[in-house]
Protein backbone atom coordinates (compact mmCIF):
# COMPACT_ATOMS: atom_id res chain seq x y z
CA UNK A 1 0.00 0.00 0.00
CA UNK A 2 1.39 3.39 -0.96
CA UNK A 3 2.06 6.13 1.59
CA UNK A 4 1.06 9.62 0.46
CA UNK A 5 2.95 12.51 2.08
CA UNK A 6 1.91 16.17 1.91
CA UNK A 7 4.12 19.19 1.20
CA UNK A 8 7.18 16.97 0.89
CA UNK A 9 10.68 18.42 0.59
CA UNK A 10 12.13 16.50 -2.37
CA UNK A 11 15.49 18.29 -2.61
CA UNK A 12 17.35 15.13 -1.54
CA UNK A 13 15.91 13.23 -4.51
CA UNK A 14 17.63 15.50 -7.08
CA UNK A 15 21.35 15.55 -7.84
CA UNK A 16 21.48 19.35 -8.22
CA UNK A 17 20.15 19.74 -4.64
CA UNK A 18 18.24 22.95 -5.35
CA UNK A 19 15.46 23.37 -2.78
CA UNK A 20 12.10 22.08 -4.04
CA UNK A 21 8.82 20.67 -2.74
CA UNK A 22 5.95 18.47 -3.89
CA UNK A 23 2.31 19.06 -2.99
CA UNK A 24 1.90 15.29 -2.59
CA UNK A 25 4.58 12.58 -2.70
CA UNK A 26 4.88 8.80 -2.72
CA UNK A 27 7.46 6.10 -3.47
CA UNK A 28 6.54 3.12 -5.67
CA UNK A 29 8.53 -0.13 -5.70
CA UNK A 30 6.38 -2.39 -7.88
CA UNK A 31 3.58 -2.42 -10.46
CA UNK A 32 0.82 -2.69 -7.85
CA UNK A 33 2.03 0.41 -6.01
CA UNK A 34 2.34 2.29 -9.29
CA UNK A 35 -1.24 1.45 -10.27
CA UNK A 36 -2.32 2.42 -6.76
CA UNK A 37 -0.70 5.83 -7.16
CA UNK A 38 -2.37 6.35 -10.54
CA UNK A 39 -5.74 5.37 -9.02
CA UNK A 40 -5.21 7.78 -6.10
CA UNK A 41 -4.45 10.63 -8.50
CA UNK A 42 -7.63 9.93 -10.48
CA UNK A 43 -9.78 9.67 -7.36
CA UNK A 44 -8.38 12.91 -5.92
CA UNK A 45 -8.19 14.69 -9.29
CA UNK A 46 -4.47 15.40 -8.92
CA UNK A 47 -1.93 15.60 -11.76
CA UNK A 48 1.05 13.24 -11.72
CA UNK A 49 4.77 13.92 -11.98
CA UNK A 50 7.37 11.14 -12.26
CA UNK A 51 10.74 11.47 -10.54
CA UNK A 52 13.47 8.95 -11.34
CA UNK A 53 17.11 9.45 -10.37
CA UNK A 54 16.72 13.23 -10.37
CA UNK A 55 19.96 13.65 -12.30
CA UNK A 56 18.85 15.67 -15.30
CA UNK A 57 16.34 18.05 -13.80
CA UNK A 58 15.97 21.51 -12.30
CA UNK A 59 12.76 21.95 -10.33
CA UNK A 60 12.18 25.70 -10.22
CA UNK A 61 8.81 25.73 -8.41
CA UNK A 62 6.65 23.65 -6.10
CA UNK A 63 5.23 20.71 -8.04
CA UNK A 64 1.44 20.57 -8.01
CA UNK A 65 -0.26 17.21 -7.59
CA UNK A 66 1.36 13.87 -6.80
CA UNK A 67 5.06 13.25 -7.35
CA UNK A 68 5.82 9.54 -7.82
CA UNK A 69 9.38 8.58 -6.88
CA UNK A 70 10.30 5.55 -8.99
CA UNK A 71 12.14 2.79 -7.11
CA UNK A 72 11.02 -0.18 -9.22
CA UNK A 73 14.19 -2.26 -9.61
CA UNK A 74 15.42 -5.46 -11.23
CA UNK A 75 17.37 -6.83 -14.20
CA UNK A 76 16.67 -9.98 -16.21
CA UNK A 77 17.65 -11.66 -19.47
CA UNK A 78 14.51 -12.27 -21.52
CA UNK A 79 15.83 -14.11 -24.57
CA UNK A 80 19.12 -15.04 -26.22
CA UNK A 81 20.72 -16.84 -29.14
CA UNK A 82 24.29 -17.28 -30.33
CA UNK A 83 24.64 -13.62 -31.33
CA UNK A 84 22.27 -11.48 -29.27
CA UNK A 85 20.68 -11.11 -25.85
CA UNK A 86 17.49 -9.26 -25.00
CA UNK A 87 17.94 -7.83 -21.52
CA UNK A 88 15.33 -5.96 -19.49
CA UNK A 89 16.01 -3.35 -16.85
CA UNK A 90 13.26 -2.05 -14.58
CA UNK A 91 12.94 1.71 -14.80
CA UNK A 92 13.95 2.56 -11.23
CA UNK A 93 17.21 0.63 -11.50
CA UNK A 94 20.49 2.56 -11.41
CA UNK A 95 21.77 3.00 -14.97
CA UNK A 96 25.39 2.47 -13.92
CA UNK A 97 24.47 -0.74 -12.08
CA UNK A 98 22.59 -1.92 -15.17
CA UNK A 99 25.56 -1.26 -17.48
CA UNK A 100 27.89 -2.95 -14.97
CA UNK A 101 25.66 -6.03 -15.01
CA UNK A 102 25.81 -6.27 -18.82
CA UNK A 103 29.60 -5.92 -18.80
CA UNK A 104 29.92 -8.67 -16.18
CA UNK A 105 27.77 -10.86 -18.44
CA UNK A 106 30.19 -10.22 -21.32
CA UNK A 107 27.59 -8.37 -23.38
CA UNK A 108 28.56 -5.60 -25.82
CA UNK A 109 26.74 -2.36 -26.54
CA UNK A 110 26.44 -0.33 -23.33
CA UNK A 111 30.06 -0.06 -22.19
CA UNK A 112 30.52 3.47 -23.62
CA UNK A 113 27.51 4.64 -21.59
CA UNK A 114 29.01 3.64 -18.24
CA UNK A 115 28.86 6.04 -15.28
CA UNK A 116 26.01 8.19 -16.59
CA UNK A 117 24.03 9.19 -13.53
CA UNK A 118 20.32 8.43 -13.47
CA UNK A 119 17.98 5.49 -13.90
CA UNK A 120 17.14 2.98 -16.61
CA UNK A 121 13.78 4.69 -17.12
CA UNK A 122 15.40 8.04 -17.80
CA UNK A 123 17.75 6.65 -20.46
CA UNK A 124 15.24 6.48 -23.34
CA UNK A 125 13.62 9.79 -22.39
CA UNK A 126 16.93 11.56 -22.99
CA UNK A 127 18.26 9.06 -25.54
CA UNK A 128 21.43 9.24 -23.46
CA UNK A 129 24.75 9.13 -25.25
CA UNK A 130 28.50 9.23 -24.70
CA UNK A 131 31.74 8.43 -26.53
CA UNK A 132 30.07 7.96 -29.90
CA UNK A 133 27.21 5.73 -28.72
CA UNK A 134 23.53 6.51 -28.06
CA UNK A 135 20.86 4.42 -26.37
CA UNK A 136 18.91 4.16 -29.63
CA UNK A 137 21.80 2.08 -31.06
CA UNK A 138 20.87 -0.87 -28.81
CA UNK A 139 17.24 -0.14 -27.99
CA UNK A 140 14.65 -2.89 -28.57
CA UNK A 141 11.46 -1.78 -26.80
CA UNK A 142 10.06 -0.36 -23.60
CA UNK A 143 6.94 -0.87 -21.54
CA UNK A 144 5.07 2.15 -20.16
CA UNK A 145 1.84 2.88 -18.32
CA UNK A 146 -0.55 5.62 -19.42
CA UNK A 147 -0.93 7.96 -16.44
CA UNK A 148 -4.58 8.67 -17.22
CA UNK A 149 -5.89 5.20 -17.99
CA UNK A 150 -3.36 2.99 -16.18
CA UNK A 151 -3.05 0.86 -19.31
CA UNK A 152 0.28 -0.67 -20.31
CA UNK A 153 1.73 -0.07 -23.79
CA UNK A 154 4.85 -1.25 -25.64
CA UNK A 155 6.95 1.28 -27.54
CA UNK A 156 9.35 0.27 -30.34
CA UNK A 157 12.37 2.36 -31.34
CA UNK A 158 10.30 3.90 -34.13
CA UNK A 159 7.53 4.77 -31.66
CA UNK A 160 10.04 6.53 -29.40
CA UNK A 161 11.19 8.90 -32.19
CA UNK A 162 14.72 9.11 -30.90
CA UNK A 163 16.86 12.11 -31.81
CA UNK A 164 19.92 13.80 -30.31
CA UNK A 165 19.22 13.81 -26.53
CA UNK A 166 15.55 13.63 -27.35
CA UNK A 167 12.56 11.31 -27.66
CA UNK A 168 8.78 11.44 -27.90
CA UNK A 169 8.67 11.36 -24.08
CA UNK A 170 10.35 14.79 -23.92
CA UNK A 171 7.86 16.48 -26.24
CA UNK A 172 4.62 15.01 -27.66
CA UNK A 173 4.09 12.48 -24.84
CA UNK A 174 5.77 14.47 -22.08
CA UNK A 175 4.14 13.74 -18.73
CA UNK A 176 1.72 11.21 -20.20
CA UNK A 177 3.50 7.90 -19.49
CA UNK A 178 5.38 6.14 -16.70
CA UNK A 179 8.19 4.10 -18.25
CA UNK A 180 8.08 0.77 -16.44
CA UNK A 181 10.88 -1.24 -18.07
CA UNK A 182 13.38 -0.97 -20.93
CA UNK A 183 14.57 -3.86 -23.10
CA UNK A 184 17.84 -3.64 -25.03
CA UNK A 185 19.41 -5.88 -27.67
CA UNK A 186 23.08 -6.50 -26.87
CA UNK A 187 25.73 -8.49 -28.69
CA UNK A 188 27.65 -11.51 -27.44
CA UNK A 189 30.56 -11.01 -29.83
CA UNK A 190 33.14 -8.27 -29.39
CA UNK A 191 32.27 -5.09 -31.24
CA UNK A 192 33.77 -2.15 -29.36
CA UNK A 193 33.37 1.46 -30.53
CA UNK A 194 36.59 3.24 -29.64
CA UNK A 195 36.75 6.01 -32.25
CA UNK A 196 35.88 8.83 -29.84
CA UNK A 197 38.95 11.01 -29.30
CA UNK A 198 39.62 10.96 -25.55
CA UNK A 199 38.65 7.29 -25.21
CA UNK A 200 41.00 6.15 -27.98
CA UNK A 201 43.82 8.41 -26.77
CA UNK A 202 43.60 7.25 -23.15
CA UNK A 203 43.64 3.58 -24.15
CA UNK A 204 46.75 4.20 -26.29
CA UNK A 205 48.46 6.11 -23.48
CA UNK A 206 47.92 3.12 -21.23
CA UNK A 207 49.29 0.77 -23.88
CA UNK A 208 46.00 -1.10 -24.18
CA UNK A 209 45.85 -2.21 -27.82
CA UNK A 210 43.14 -4.84 -27.50
CA UNK A 211 40.84 -3.62 -24.73
CA UNK A 212 38.31 -5.79 -22.97
CA UNK A 213 34.88 -4.59 -21.87
CA UNK A 214 36.23 -3.97 -18.38
CA UNK A 215 39.19 -2.03 -19.79
CA UNK A 216 36.72 0.27 -21.54
CA UNK A 217 34.58 1.02 -18.48
CA UNK A 218 37.66 1.53 -16.29
CA UNK A 219 39.08 4.06 -18.77
CA UNK A 220 35.70 5.79 -19.11
CA UNK A 221 35.46 5.98 -15.31
CA UNK A 222 38.91 7.56 -15.20
CA UNK A 223 38.08 10.12 -17.91
CA UNK A 224 34.70 11.00 -16.41
CA UNK A 225 35.98 11.34 -12.85
CA UNK A 226 38.82 13.61 -14.03
CA UNK A 227 36.41 15.99 -15.79
CA UNK A 228 33.02 15.64 -14.14
CA UNK A 229 32.05 16.31 -10.52
CA UNK A 230 30.46 13.50 -8.53
CA UNK A 231 26.91 14.63 -7.62
CA UNK A 232 27.16 13.22 -4.09
CA UNK A 233 30.18 15.43 -3.45
CA UNK A 234 29.48 18.49 -5.60
CA UNK A 235 25.76 18.70 -6.56
CA UNK A 236 25.07 19.03 -10.29
CA UNK A 237 22.57 17.91 -12.91
CA UNK A 238 25.02 16.63 -15.50
CA UNK A 239 25.58 18.47 -18.79
CA UNK A 240 23.30 21.49 -18.64
CA UNK A 241 23.37 22.12 -22.41
CA UNK A 242 23.28 19.96 -25.50
CA UNK A 243 26.16 20.24 -27.95
CA UNK A 244 25.32 22.73 -30.69
CA UNK A 245 24.32 21.57 -34.17
CA UNK A 246 24.72 23.96 -37.12
CA UNK A 247 24.60 23.69 -40.88
CA UNK A 248 27.90 23.57 -42.77
CA UNK A 249 27.57 27.11 -44.16
CA UNK A 250 27.24 28.61 -40.67
CA UNK A 251 30.16 26.53 -39.43
CA UNK A 252 32.45 27.61 -42.26
CA UNK A 253 31.76 31.27 -41.46
CA UNK A 254 32.58 30.65 -37.81
CA UNK A 255 35.71 28.73 -38.75
CA UNK A 256 37.08 31.71 -40.68
CA UNK A 257 36.75 33.86 -37.59
CA UNK A 258 37.76 31.13 -35.08
CA UNK A 259 40.19 28.76 -36.86
CA UNK A 260 40.61 26.55 -33.79
CA UNK A 261 36.89 25.90 -33.31
CA UNK A 262 36.40 22.16 -32.68
CA UNK A 263 33.72 20.20 -34.51
CA UNK A 264 32.33 16.77 -35.36
CA UNK A 265 30.62 16.02 -38.70
CA UNK A 266 27.02 14.84 -38.41
CA UNK A 267 26.24 14.62 -42.12
CA UNK A 268 27.25 16.25 -45.39
CA UNK A 269 25.38 19.39 -44.37
CA UNK A 270 25.49 19.48 -40.55
CA UNK A 271 28.24 19.87 -37.95
CA UNK A 272 28.26 19.52 -34.16
CA UNK A 273 30.20 22.07 -32.10
CA UNK A 274 31.06 21.25 -28.45
CA UNK A 275 29.03 23.68 -26.36
CA UNK A 276 31.64 23.47 -23.61
CA UNK A 277 34.10 25.18 -25.97
CA UNK A 278 31.59 27.91 -26.79
CA UNK A 279 30.94 28.54 -23.09
CA UNK A 280 34.66 28.62 -22.31
CA UNK A 281 35.39 31.04 -25.15
CA UNK A 282 32.56 33.27 -23.92
CA UNK A 283 34.39 33.52 -20.60
CA UNK A 284 32.12 31.40 -18.42
CA UNK A 285 34.24 28.36 -17.62
CA UNK A 286 34.60 28.45 -13.82
CA UNK A 287 32.52 31.63 -13.57
CA UNK A 288 30.55 31.90 -10.35
CA UNK A 289 27.35 33.71 -9.39
CA UNK A 290 26.58 33.27 -5.71
CA UNK A 291 26.68 29.55 -4.86
CA UNK A 292 26.48 28.33 -8.49
CA UNK A 293 29.19 28.18 -11.13
CA UNK A 294 30.07 26.60 -14.44
CA UNK A 295 32.51 23.85 -13.52
CA UNK A 296 36.16 24.71 -14.05
CA UNK A 297 37.04 21.28 -15.48
CA UNK A 298 34.02 20.99 -17.81
CA UNK A 299 32.14 24.14 -18.78
CA UNK A 300 28.92 22.27 -19.65
CA UNK A 301 28.35 21.39 -16.00
CA UNK A 302 26.69 23.79 -13.56
CA UNK A 303 27.51 23.01 -9.93
CA UNK A 304 25.81 23.98 -6.68
CA UNK A 305 28.22 24.85 -3.88
CA UNK A 306 25.39 24.79 -1.37
CA UNK A 307 21.86 26.10 -0.79
CA UNK A 308 21.49 27.51 -4.29
CA UNK A 309 18.04 28.63 -5.38
CA UNK A 310 16.44 27.86 -8.72
CA UNK A 311 16.47 31.59 -9.43
CA UNK A 312 20.28 31.71 -9.04
CA UNK A 313 20.70 28.71 -11.36
CA UNK A 314 18.43 30.23 -14.00
CA UNK A 315 20.21 33.58 -13.72
CA UNK A 316 23.62 32.05 -14.48
CA UNK A 317 22.19 29.95 -17.33
CA UNK A 318 20.62 33.04 -18.87
CA UNK A 319 23.95 34.91 -18.71
CA UNK A 320 25.76 32.00 -20.38
CA UNK A 321 23.22 31.81 -23.21
CA UNK A 322 23.31 35.57 -23.81
CA UNK A 323 27.12 35.61 -23.88
CA UNK A 324 27.37 32.71 -26.37
CA UNK A 325 24.70 34.25 -28.57
CA UNK A 326 26.50 37.61 -28.57
CA UNK A 327 29.91 36.12 -29.37
CA UNK A 328 28.99 33.38 -31.86
CA UNK A 329 25.40 34.06 -32.90
CA UNK A 330 24.45 30.57 -31.71
CA UNK A 331 21.65 29.50 -29.39
CA UNK A 332 22.49 27.07 -26.61
CA UNK A 333 19.74 24.51 -25.89
CA UNK A 334 19.26 23.10 -22.41
CA UNK A 335 19.71 19.35 -21.96
CA UNK A 336 18.48 19.52 -18.36
CA UNK A 337 14.71 19.41 -17.97
CA UNK A 338 13.56 22.63 -16.33
CA UNK A 339 10.26 22.30 -14.47
Spatial contact of 182 and 89, defined as CB atoms under 8 Å apart:
yes
Q: What angle do CA 126, 164, 270 make, to 5 degrees?
A: 170
From the CB of residue 155, how many other CB atoms can be counted at a distance below 10 Å?
21
- Phi, psi at residue 203, to the nearest 5°? -60, -40
Active site residues: 165, 239, 335
Spatial contact of 75 and 91, defined as CB atoms under 8 Å apart:
no
Rg, C-alpha atoms of the chain: 21
Instruction: With both helix axes pointing from N to C terminus, report the angle between 197-205 and 213-227 in degrees, rounded to the nearest 10.
Output: 110
Kindly tell me the number of DSSP H helices and DSSP E strands found in the chain: 9, 20
Spatial contact of 175 and 192, defined as CB atoms under 8 Å apart:
no
Cβ neighbours of residue 252 closer than 8 Å, sequence gap 6 or more:
none
Pairing of strands 48-51, 63-70: parallel
Calpha distance 148→333 (Å, rounded): 30
Spatial contact of 162 and 136, defined as CB atoms under 8 Å apart:
yes
What are the distances in angstroms from CA 250 to CA 222, 271, 282? 35, 9, 18
From the CB of residue 78, how many other CB atoms can be counted at a distance below 10 Å?
11
User: What is the DSSP code string of 98-119?
Assistant: HHHHHHHTT-BSSGGGTT--SB
Q: What angle do CA 173, 178, 183 make, to 5 degrees?
A: 100
Amino acid sequence: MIKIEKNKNITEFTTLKVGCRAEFFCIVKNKEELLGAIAWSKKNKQPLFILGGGSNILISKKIKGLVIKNEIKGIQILKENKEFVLIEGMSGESWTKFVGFTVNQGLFGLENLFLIYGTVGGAPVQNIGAYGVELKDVFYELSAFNLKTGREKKFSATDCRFAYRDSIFKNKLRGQYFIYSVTLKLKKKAELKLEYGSLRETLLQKGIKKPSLKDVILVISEIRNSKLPIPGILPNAGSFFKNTEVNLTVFEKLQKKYPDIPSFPLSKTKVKIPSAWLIEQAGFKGKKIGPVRMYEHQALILVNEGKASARQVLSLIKEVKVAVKKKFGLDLVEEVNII
